Chain A
């Protein structure tokens, strides 16, 4: 009966209402609740497991609640597994093929599942059974669903035997490529490259023809899809066809009327240039690339800037020297900030990859002047893009050039009005450090760093704090105590919690570097002093510091110096301090010896466990149980 029910359901696309009506009749027929039957069936250990999953699936798949439909689709593999390969092929897949009108979210899950279904339909021999539902999914409107279907199709294409590929897969690609609505043609673009290498030469010729047609499709959506797959397709083609077919397509797409198509051709340019022998590049690729670098649309120029490093590697050192250096200079001076920022992002990589023989000379005479201008650019994104890479130049240019030419730029950016620029510089201090040494660095940059430690933007302060352990390690104890210690302590009473938190963490790292003795002399007294602060937030900071420091400081300091302070704070008026005392005790408990735990900690926790505040009680009880003091 269940089977009939299923057949009925997928042979006619019944809406939910009719389904319910049908179910109702069905339930009347067997005179008991449908679900109950199933439940009891499952309860029986040797009930026929193969019967219920498909019923559940169908019921849930048609459920009005999308979430429930989604659930069953996501568990499709379980169901297929339970059904066995045969019934998955003959019942489940036809049913699913028929289901494709659902919410996009459900379809997305379906498209993803089907990509992993090969074993569930009986292995590579039967993998083509998965093609019909995926073909339908590859034609839906929603891009994410379609993309996922194509991804799954690409995946299972690998599991097709060469014969199956020609008999089942390639016809599907052809159908998609000549579909009426743009969605199927768009999807087809992503499938050519996966079947091309494994089919006969006649079929190959057909595939090339289809791709050519799609490259000149009259909907821009399809041309964009084709352009974005051009590079990938070129890679699987024989070199002769790359030269004869791909280049003409590339040239055509690169001069498309829509800039959204042209910019995708730039991406393809990288792959195509990699495939061609050096001597052909000049005639086949460079005219188009030059044109793209000076395109009237900033989007295309942006793309060139964005792909510059890849392009540079693809065309090799000679063309780089003659063509790309001037092109790069132009991009750095582009009239649109978007383009300048993209180019600025590539400054370091571009310089790194210049041919070593005259790298320094090219940088100093051609690139650095542009970089200098960008430091005072009017657009903050440009400056911040530059700031994120500019420090990298120091490794390339060496110590002397760095001190003479780059340091002034770093300093200027450290003082930039835009916090992001400052932040990017600080975050990259380590590469300069390697080149000029921390002494030199600290002399020239320290004043600026100190200034930033009090920056109005707390994220900038946070970034500085994160650099403290590194700086401290390299500067040594003395220098640190002299210049930076006060800063570190000041952060503990910052008015932003995130800074106070980072400051506590920073202290812990410093103690790990400088040792317990240093902590005992410099940090601990100050931290403990804050326990008497009138501001309860500062009192809590003491507790947080103790949490962080106890382990690094060791049992002795913790028991003798910290513990008394913590215990004393258990009488604090503010409940938050009290329950943090409980939390702290739980935290430092493991560092203490059992004597201290029993005689000092236990009574205090017991007292807190009877506190009037429920949170205090809760945490005290938790500490008691964790420390096993009960």
Chain B
């Protein structure tokens, strides 16, 4: 729904040119400055430390008010003098609240919060790059950072001041304040998110009345992120805060917290940008399991439900998290989930992507996991054996094959008899499987005929049955290699013939191939 939609008609084009534009303007970013009446030029006030103590309070207030003036940082030369005055004043204010005692009297609270709200609360601007990829692209930095940073610094010192009284501040630092603060976590600027993290943590610590509210709002942000927008820059930071919040949960866990684990944290694993916050997420999950081991089964089943099917990178992360969980699992819990879990692990071990296979095989380097496997070898071995045996013969990557041999050896040592049995029945089992597969094919074919004969009666099901047909196709592939040749695009074939014909030494060939790929079939 961004401005891009109009230009999306022109495929492929957008991204590159946009990236380019992005590069030129990267550091500029946008500020909260919006059409307000033009800023009045600021005039410097006397230093707080020079003022007599009776007048300090009044001067402090004046300075706070002065800092409510906002400036346009996109225009770097505008109001230079006033910007500098504000910067110096903010610095002085930071210093004042962090070094002096007794400066936070009740009457200053409204002025302080007003200054903070005016400066930091704003609607975040649209991202310069609508398909901003946090893993690849440089973030847009907040242009007004020279001021905003000091305001955040001030807020932090204000909260940490020994004289700070939450009972007075709660009139100002209320739900609305927190809500706006949370929205800012979407900022693209990592420096800003870092400040926000510390600040929110302090607020959570000091304002008991806001705790439930903060948790609920974070909940909402995550749910919106998972199910609606799939975009929020501050997930990692919020999870980091939650990590320490979870750490402090009292036992037994409230239903609310368990619901948060199962309905928010587990589905968070489905996010596209999981890599950006997986470490924090896994930490939260493990924290929960350490608190309450009975959650292990639902958590692992949840992870298995959302197990990535096409993204190897994510699969590696999932495996990492499973290992973290296994590190703290209780043997009784392990028994409950070993079957579904090892079915998945056996698939991972057989994954053609060597990083996935390797990550899964590394489980066998973990002493504790090994002991769990050994205890349950009669259950685990039959599940794992097929994949391992097949991979030991088939995997393309020699490292994996070597690892598999070690694993097989370890497993064999755990239960030699079972291992021998499985080895001898391996072939028969595979044949059995194949037969079953064929029978299923038959069944579906019959069912298909039934459907065809009923089409006149009921027109509703237009879908074919891809999977079964795939199985059949596998056999045909070899016979069809001739047909594949006719699909060769002229261009691709042209490149190939480069070898056939020494005369064709045209630089054009490579240019044509590379530049026109989007069009060639």
Nearest Cβ on chain B to A357's Cβ, whole angstroms: 31
**Is A64 touching B343 in the complex (CB atoms < 8 A)?**
yes
If over half of A's interface residues share one DSSP class (helix, strand or loop), that class is named, otherwise mixed; here it is helix
Query: Which one of A39, A384, A419, A580 lies within 8 Å of B6 (CB-CB)?
Result: A384
* Residues on A with beta carbons closer than 8 Å to the beta carbon of B223: 182, 221
What residue of chain A has the Cβ atom nearest to residue B34's Cβ? Answer: A335
**Is B500 touching A613 in the complex (CB atoms < 8 A)?**
yes
**Is B515 touching A458 in the complex (CB atoms < 8 A)?**
yes
CA of A26 to CA of B515, assembled, Å: 63
**Is B439 touching A35 in the complex (CB atoms < 8 A)?**
yes
**Is A575 touching B500 in the complex (CB atoms < 8 A)?**
yes
Nearest Cβ on chain A to B25's Cβ, whole angstroms: 9
Q: A574-B504, A615-B488, A618-B482 are in contact. Are A382 and B35 (CB under 8 A)?
A: no
**Is A536 touching B176 in the complex (CB atoms < 8 A)?**
no
Interface residues of A in 136-158 (CB under 8 A from B): 141-143
* Residues on A with beta carbons closer than 8 Å to the beta carbon of B51: none
The verdict on A81 contacting chain B, using a C-beta distance below 8 Å, is: yes
**Is A419 touching B500 in the complex (CB atoms < 8 A)?**
no
Nearest Cβ on chain A to B262's Cβ, whole angstroms: 10
Segment touching B, from A89-97, A338-346, A359-367: A338-346
The verdict on B110 contacting chain A, using a C-beta distance below 8 Å, is: no
Nearest Cβ on chain A to B193's Cβ, whole angstroms: 20
CA of A260 to CA of B454, assembled, Å: 48
Nearest Cβ on chain A to B485's Cβ, whole angstroms: 6
**Is B6 touching A388 in the complex (CB atoms < 8 A)?**
yes
Query: Which one of B4, B21, B461, B508 lies within 8 Å of A537 (CB-CB)?
Result: B508
**Is B466 touching A67 in the complex (CB atoms < 8 A)?**
yes
Query: Which one of B3, B18, B227, B439 lies within 8 Å of A39 (CB-CB)?
Result: B439
Query: Which one of B450, B457, B486, B512 lies within 8 Å of A49 (CB-CB)?
Result: B450
**Is B519 touching A496 in the complex (CB atoms < 8 A)?**
yes
The verdict on A25 contacting chain B, using a C-beta distance below 8 Å, is: no
* Residues on A with beta carbons closer than 8 Å to the beta carbon of B267: 141
CA of A379 to CA of B515, assembled, Å: 27
The verdict on B179 contacting chain A, using a C-beta distance below 8 Å, is: yes
* Residues on A with beta carbons closer than 8 Å to the beta carbon of B443: 35, 38-39, 42, 52, 56
Q: A75-B461, A297-B123, A498-B519 are in contact. Are A345 and B506 (CB under 8 A)?
A: no
Interface residues of B in 413-466 (CB under 8 A from A): 436, 439-440, 442-444, 446-447, 450-451, 454, 457-458, 460-461, 463, 465-466
Instruction: Digitize B224-238: 1 where CB-to-A-CB distance is under 8 Å, 0 elsewhere.
Output: 101110000000000
Nearest Cβ on chain A to B214's Cβ, whole angstroms: 14
* Residues on A with beta carbons closer than 8 Å to the beta carbon of B440: 35, 60, 68
Segment touching A, from B9-17, B79-87, B321-329, B356-364: B9-17
* Residues on B with beta carbons closer than 8 Å to the beta carbon of A381: 3-4, 6-7
* Residues on B with beta carbons closer than 8 Å to the beta carbon of A619: 486
The verdict on A507 contacting chain B, using a C-beta distance below 8 Å, is: no
**Is B447 touching A78 in the complex (CB atoms < 8 A)?**
yes
Segment touching A, from B95-103, B154-162, B368-376, B491-499: B491-499
CA of A17 to CA of B488, assembled, Å: 47
* Residues on A with beta carbons closer than 8 Å to the beta carbon of B468: 71
**Is B263 touching A141 in the complex (CB atoms < 8 A)?**
yes
The verdict on B250 contacting chain A, using a C-beta distance below 8 Å, is: no
Instruction: Digitize B477-514: 1 where CB-to-A-CB distance is under 8 Å, 0 elsewhere.
Output: 00000100110101101100100110110101101100
Q: A35-B436, A39-B439 are in contact. Are A78 and B503 (CB under 8 A)?
A: no
Nearest Cβ on chain B to A619's Cβ, whole angstroms: 7
The verdict on B53 contacting chain A, using a C-beta distance below 8 Å, is: no
**Is B263 touching A345 in the complex (CB atoms < 8 A)?**
no
Nearest Cβ on chain B to A390's Cβ, whole angstroms: 12
The verdict on B2 contacting chain A, using a C-beta distance below 8 Å, is: yes
CA of A75 to CA of B464, assembled, Å: 9
**Is B17 touching A576 in the complex (CB atoms < 8 A)?**
no
* Residues on B with beta carbons closer than 8 Å to the beta carbon of A52: 443
Interface residues of A in 314-344 (CB under 8 A from B): 335-338, 341-342
Query: Which one of B13, B176, B447, B501 lies within 8 Å of A575 (CB-CB)?
Result: B501
**Is A337 touching B515 in the complex (CB atoms < 8 A)?**
no
**Is B458 touching A81 in the complex (CB atoms < 8 A)?**
yes
**Is A535 touching B126 in the complex (CB atoms < 8 A)?**
no
**Is A497 touching B519 in the complex (CB atoms < 8 A)?**
yes
The verdict on B516 contacting chain A, using a C-beta distance below 8 Å, is: yes
The verdict on A116 contacting chain B, using a C-beta distance below 8 Å, is: yes
* Residues on A with beta carbons closer than 8 Å to the beta carbon of B454: 78, 81-82
Nearest Cβ on chain A to B32's Cβ, whole angstroms: 10
The verdict on B220 contacting chain A, using a C-beta distance below 8 Å, is: yes
Instruction: Digitize B18-42: 1 where CB-to-A-CB distance is under 8 Å, 0 elsewhere.
Output: 1001000000000000110000000
**Is B458 touching A119 in the complex (CB atoms < 8 A)?**
yes
**Is A142 touching B227 in the complex (CB atoms < 8 A)?**
yes
**Is B461 touching A77 in the complex (CB atoms < 8 A)?**
yes
What residue of chain B has the Cβ atom nearest to residue A71's Cβ? Answer: B465
Nearest Cβ on chain A to B87's Cβ, whole angstroms: 24
* Residues on A with beta carbons closer than 8 Å to the beta carbon of B12: 459
Nearest Cβ on chain B to A163's Cβ, whole angstroms: 27
Instruction: Digitize A558-582: 1 where CB-to-B-CB distance is under 8 Å, 0 elsewhere.
Output: 0000000000000001111000100
Interface hub of B4, B220, B494 (most chain A Cβ within 10 A): B494
Interface hub of B442, B444, B461, B508 (most chain A Cβ within 10 A): B461
CA of A595 to CA of B159, assembled, Å: 98
What residue of chain B has the Cβ atom nearest to residue A306's Cβ? Answer: B1
Interface residues of A in 382-397 (CB under 8 A from B): 382, 384-385, 388
Query: Which one of A70, A142, A535 lies within 8 Å of B508 (CB-CB)?
Result: A535
What residue of chain B has the Cβ atom nearest to residue A333's Cβ? Answer: B35
Q: A77-B460, A143-B227, A495-B511 are in contact. Are A576 and B6 (CB under 8 A)?
A: no
Nearest Cβ on chain B to A437's Cβ, whole angstroms: 28
The verdict on A540 contacting chain B, using a C-beta distance below 8 Å, is: yes
Interface residues of B in 171-228 (CB under 8 A from A): 176, 179, 220, 223-224, 226-228
The verdict on B520 contacting chain A, using a C-beta distance below 8 Å, is: yes
**Is B228 touching A68 in the complex (CB atoms < 8 A)?**
no
The verdict on A418 contacting chain B, using a C-beta distance below 8 Å, is: yes
CA of A573 to CA of B467, assembled, Å: 45
* Residues on B with beta carbons closer than 8 Å to the beta carbon of A120: 458
**Is B493 touching A296 in the complex (CB atoms < 8 A)?**
no
CA of A336 to CA of B491, assembled, Å: 44
Q: A56-B443, A495-B515 are in contact. Are A380 and B17 (CB under 8 A)?
A: yes
* Residues on A with beta carbons closer than 8 Å to the beta carbon of B166: none
The verdict on A135 contacting chain B, using a C-beta distance below 8 Å, is: no
**Is A221 touching B228 in the complex (CB atoms < 8 A)?**
yes
Q: A380-B21, A381-B4 are in contact. Are A496 and B123 (CB under 8 A)?
A: no
* Residues on A with beta carbons closer than 8 Å to the beta carbon of B4: 381
**Is B339 touching A67 in the complex (CB atoms < 8 A)?**
no
Q: A74-B463, A75-B465, A495-B508 are in contact. Are A298 and B123 (CB under 8 A)?
A: yes
Q: A36-B439, A257-B176, A536-B494 are in contact. Are A221 and B512 (CB under 8 A)?
A: no
The verdict on B44 contacting chain A, using a C-beta distance below 8 Å, is: no
**Is A181 touching B263 in the complex (CB atoms < 8 A)?**
yes
**Is A618 touching B485 in the complex (CB atoms < 8 A)?**
yes
Nearest Cβ on chain B to A167's Cβ, whole angstroms: 27
CA of A306 to CA of B497, assembled, Å: 52
What residue of chain A has the Cβ atom nearest to residue B519's Cβ? Answer: A498
* Residues on B with beta carbons closer than 8 Å to the beta carbon of A457: 13
Nearest Cβ on chain A to B348's Cβ, whole angstroms: 15
Interface hub of A142, A143, A420 (most chain B Cβ within 10 A): A420
What residue of chain B has the Cβ atom nearest to residue A68's Cβ? Answer: B467
What residue of chain A has the Cβ atom nearest to residue B122's Cβ? Answer: A296
Instruction: Digitize A420-432: 1 where CB-to-B-CB distance is under 8 Å, 0 elsewhere.
Output: 1001100000000
The verdict on A512 contacting chain B, using a C-beta distance below 8 Å, is: no
- List 9 contacting pairs A-B, 8 Å CB cutoff, sorted by A: A35-B439, A78-B447, A221-B224, A221-B227, A338-B2, A381-B6, A384-B7, A457-B13, A496-B515
Given A143-B228, A388-B6: 8 more A-B contacts, CB < 8 Å: A35-B436, A35-B443, A38-B443, A56-B443, A82-B454, A420-B17, A496-B516, A574-B497
Q: Which 9 A-B pairs have the closest CB atoms?
A: A498-B519, A341-B3, A381-B3, A497-B516, A35-B439, A297-B123, A78-B451, A338-B126, A67-B467
